[in-house]
Structure formats: C-alpha cells, structure tokens
C-alpha cells in the first residue's frame, strides 16, 4: 500500500543525514542498498501467525554513490507491506491493513519527513 501525501516523496537529501534521521526513528537500512538505491524498513510485529508488517522508505541516487557514502538521494512514496512467512512482503492494493496500522505508518513517516525537511536540498 502506498502511503500518499506524507511529505517525503520527491525530497532530495544527502545520504548521511538521511541514514541518521531514519535510524533515529528505527528505520533500518542494513544490507538493503546497492550503488544507486536505498531502502529503509521499519518492522511492526503482529499477533497474526507468521505475519509481520513493514513500513518501507525507498530512494535512489540522483548523484554520487551509495557505496562511497557521497550519494544524494531522491525519496519515493513510502510503502506499507505485509510479510507472509516464508513467501515475502506484499505491498499490493488488494492487501487488507488494519486502520490503526495505517495511521501508525503515516504518523511514523510524517515524523521522519518533518526532520528531513531541515536537510532537503
């Protein structure tokens, strides 16, 4: 599910402050990057058996290199996904997300967006 109008989509920001701010809000980049793209995930546990939710913030380098740490990143529309063990994460519009989860996801991304606004280019 796309989390529209959070204020984060199309923001351009240097990688280092982006890593810091997303980490401050418990979004993890870990090994989810390559030379041109970054992905930050926020994991939300569920009482449902074998189900975990993820809020995903993605972006791609408009200049520089993620590996070298000098990238300038353009952020995309964040996503809310549902992980089905062992199959993977689904972000489709046909997924059913609890309303309180969608509100929580929008709130978390909006908090990150507010802080990123200080650093955007």
Q: Each residue of 58-82: pLDDT tens digit?
A: 999 999 999 899 999 999 999 998 8
88 pLDDT exceeds 70? no
pLDDT at 84 > cutoff 70: no
CATH of 11-117, one of 3.40.50.300, 3.30.310.100, 3.40.640.10, 3.50.40.10: 3.30.310.100
At 95, the pLDDT band (50, 70, 90 cuts) reads: confident
pLDDT of residue 41: 94
pLDDT at 51 over 90: no
pTM for this one? 0.88
More confident residue, 41 or 95: 41
Tokens matching residue 95: 């997924």
Phi-psi region of 5 (alpha: psi -120 to 50; beta: other; left: phi over 0): left
Measure the CA–CA gap between 2 and 5, rounded to whole angstroms: 10
């Amino acid at each position: 599910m796309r989390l529209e109008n959070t204020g984060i989509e199309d923001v351009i920001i240097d990688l280092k402050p982006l890593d810091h701010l997303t980490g401050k809000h418990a979004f993890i980049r870990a090994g989810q990057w390559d030379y041109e793209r970054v992905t930050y995930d926020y994991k939300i546990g569920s009482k449902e058996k074998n189900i975990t939710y993820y809020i995903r913030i993605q972006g791609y380098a408009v200049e520089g290199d993620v590996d070298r740490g000098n990238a300038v990143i353009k952020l995309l529309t964040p996503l809310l996904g549902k992980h089905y063990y062992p199959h993977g994460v689904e972000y489709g519009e046909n997924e059913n997300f609890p309303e309180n989860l969608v509100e929580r996801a929008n709130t978390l991304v909006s908090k990150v967006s507010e802080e990123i606004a200080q650093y955007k280019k």
